[in-house]
A and B are shown apart, each in its own frame.
Chain A
């Protein structure tokens, strides 16, 4: 079904547009054949109306031979042939009508017939113009469709990514924690219980915050704190955490678990790689409407390169890009034994929720 038939308005518009070639051919015939304007119109109007319908046929042909596939030559030849056939029959119809009108006005046919071959040229041009318009229309539709698909794919990808992030509680972290608890049960039962409580707190917060799309930065920082509480039991004095968070940052909305991969990397590739341990420093402050977060950690440059560390960072970078486009940045720098990740995010304020406990 041709899209023009989908609505009466479109069809009306199309017929209206066809008044232009009707008027034009009438005028040319009127000038060339020295007939009255009414005579010219009497020939051209019934001639143009069926041709308007013929000019819709490229819709079917252009869909069978799309522009992108198939050779350009084939496309051109096919449409030239089609236009010649259409124009030929149109010209025959013009002769036929002129003869009919001859019975109404004597001598009409003789005056008009020398000029009728020009209908062949005009017919081809009109037909080819219709072909061009159809292809343009198809391209616009295709472009819209691909934009829609792309958008859909982006949304799907973001959903999938979020789900993956929520499931991203590192199993090795869990097993190591449970091993610590196992060791503590006989050495220091009270601390074993404390570790269970800290670990539960961290897990609960991760699950709770992971479900949301935006959380206050203060919640994210609380989550990071509960994480360090747990790791402190595992690493003891090897893990030294310094935090310097400007209170005003707390109300900025951030995607949940954005910092979590960064601090996990800092522990895994930093503190855990150093026999004597090391520090992790987290700072956050506001510059006008921008939230600036810096996570720094010491690491051992001699250690084998992290195998998965790059993935966590790439994830954070992607999330910032999908959310903030060019207004958010992530910068990773390594200087000597210092690994530094800097985030710059537009701060959109959200109501600060109750503290996570």
Chain B
């Protein structure tokens, strides 16, 4: 990982020809070696986790996991260049954060420019330049009124996909959130607020500073102390409800 070494790159694209083009462009570039190629999101997350590359060329639409989801699951010290045919909303969000994005088809000159930016990022990364939280970045890339259908979680090399219907509740634990689904819990490095932003507010309520609940799981709400209440879920779990959380909950239930 020393800046004087070769930059170790991984290519992720489900189309053979698209990878072939990246390979060809990189062949005439000194100082970069391709250490792996992946053709779907799952294997990308696994390979990136194992090999810890400096740079990833990432397609957006891929089998199993999208490029955004891959971005969410890999460490933030890895530089990412998006390579996609889609110039829609995502691009604006990444303009500021991702190292670069390349719109297919792209020229060698444009490609070299992206590489220059990546080199800069990788060199300054040793000086701990602030990089955006990947989860927040992924949330920003979502169009307004379009909510997450599923949440991806990585545990070691294993990637779990939790459809939001199966998500019971979420608790904040320091820098992590614990996602509870079907009697199991999954830890993910993300803030509860950024998760709240991507969940459908008609179905998920922030009932407490540290808690989001799936409305369909709430069985009843009982008084607890003067200012707080307890939400009982269908499976018997008890969750704290703050005063403002209770207001949000009743607003939502009345508007239904």
A159-194 contact mask (Cβ, 8 Å, vs B): 1 or 0: 000000000000110011011111110110000000
Which residues of the partner chain B approach A186 to less than 8 Å between Cβ atoms? 24
Question: Quick check: is B40 within 8 A (CB to CB) of the other chain?
Answer: yes
Contact B85 A187 (CB under 8 A): no
A339 to chain B, nearest CB (A): 15
Q: A175-B104, A304-B66 are in contact. Are A183 and B18 (CB under 8 A)?
A: yes
Closest to A191 in B: B17
Q: A179-B104, A304-B149 are in contact. Are A275 and B20 (CB under 8 A)?
A: no
Size of the chain A interface, CB-CB below 8 angstroms: 27
Contact A178 B63 (CB under 8 A): no
Which residues of the partner chain A approach B150 to less than 8 Å between Cβ atoms? 304
Question: Quick check: is B14 within 8 A (CB to CB) of the other chain?
Answer: yes
Q: Kindly state the separation between the CA atoms of A307 and B15 in the bound complex, as whole angstroms.
A: 21
Name the one of A183, A235, A302, A307 contacting B21, with C-beta atoms under 8 angstroms.
A183
Contact A275 B17 (CB under 8 A): no
Q: Kindly state the separation between the CA atoms of A77 and B38 in the bound complex, as whole angstroms.
A: 82
Which residues of the partner chain B approach A235 to less than 8 Å between Cβ atoms? 15
Question: Quick check: is A246 within 8 A (CB to CB) of the other chain?
Answer: no
Q: Kindly state the separation between the CA atoms of A111 and B42 in the bound complex, as whole angstroms.
A: 109
Q: A172-B86, A176-B15, A272-B14 are in contact. Are A187 and B20 (CB under 8 A)?
A: yes
A236 to chain B, nearest CB (A): 6
Contact A179 B85 (CB under 8 A): yes
Which residues of the partner chain A approach B86 to less than 8 Å between Cβ atoms? 172
A302-327 contact mask (Cβ, 8 Å, vs B): 1 or 0: 11110100000000000000000000
Closest to B61 in A: A272
Contact B105 A178 (CB under 8 A): yes
A48-75 contact mask (Cβ, 8 Å, vs B): 1 or 0: 0000000000000000000000000000
Which residues of the partner chain B approach A23 to less than 8 Å between Cβ atoms? none
Contact A302 B105 (CB under 8 A): no
Which residues of the partner chain A approach B105 to less than 8 Å between Cβ atoms? 175, 178-179, 181-182
Contact B17 A234 (CB under 8 A): yes
Which residues of the partner chain A approach B106 to less than 8 Å between Cβ atoms? 179
B61 to chain A, nearest CB (A): 7
Q: Kindly state the separation between the CA atoms of A183 and B105 in the bound complex, as whole angstroms.
A: 9
Contact B104 A272 (CB under 8 A): no
Which residues of the partner chain B approach A182 to less than 8 Å between Cβ atoms? 21, 104-105
Question: Quick check: is A300 within 8 A (CB to CB) of the other chain?
Answer: yes
Contact B64 A179 (CB under 8 A): no
Question: Quick check: is B16 within 8 A (CB to CB) of the other chain?
Answer: yes
Contact A302 B104 (CB under 8 A): no
Contact A272 B63 (CB under 8 A): yes
Question: Quick check: is B161 within 8 A (CB to CB) of the other chain?
Answer: yes
Which residues of the partner chain A approach B39 to less than 8 Å between Cβ atoms? 275
B64 to chain A, nearest CB (A): 7
Question: Quick check: is B95 within 8 A (CB to CB) of the other chain?
Answer: no
B147 to chain A, nearest CB (A): 11
Q: Kindly state the separation between the CA atoms of A236 and B61 in the bound complex, as whole angstroms.
A: 17
Contact A175 B85 (CB under 8 A): yes
Which residues of the partner chain B approach A172 to less than 8 Å between Cβ atoms? 85-86
Q: Which of B15-37 contact A (CB under 8 A)?
A: 15-18, 20-21, 24
Contact A179 B63 (CB under 8 A): no
A105 to chain B, nearest CB (A): 82
Question: Quick check: is B232 within 8 A (CB to CB) of the other chain?
Answer: no
Q: Kindly state the separation between the CA atoms of A303 and B43 in the bound complex, as whole angstroms.
A: 15
Q: Which of B123-150 contact A (CB under 8 A)?
A: 146, 149-150
Q: Kindly state the separation between the CA atoms of A164 and B161 in the bound complex, as whole angstroms.
A: 36
Closest to A178 in B: B105
Question: Quick check: is B103 within 8 A (CB to CB) of the other chain?
Answer: yes
Question: Quick check: is A265 within 8 A (CB to CB) of the other chain?
Answer: no
Question: Quick check: is A102 within 8 A (CB to CB) of the other chain?
Answer: no
- Most chain B CB within 10 A, of A178, A182, A186, A236, is at A182
Q: Kindly state the separation between the CA atoms of A331 and B166 in the bound complex, as whole angstroms.
A: 28
Q: A186-B24, A305-B149 are in contact. Are A275 and B63 (CB under 8 A)?
A: yes
Contact B63 A274 (CB under 8 A): yes
Residue ranges of A at the interface with B (Cβ–Cβ < 8 Å) = 171-172, 175-176, 178-184, 186-187, 233-236, 272-275, 300, 302-305, 307
Given A175-B104, A175-B105, A273-B63, 12 more A-B residue pairs with CB atoms under 8 Å apart are A179-B18, A179-B104, A179-B105, A180-B15, A180-B18, A181-B105, A182-B105, A233-B17, A234-B15, A236-B16, A275-B63, A303-B64
A-B residue pairs, 7 tightest by C-beta: A183-B21, A175-B85, A179-B104, A275-B40, A179-B105, A182-B105, A183-B17
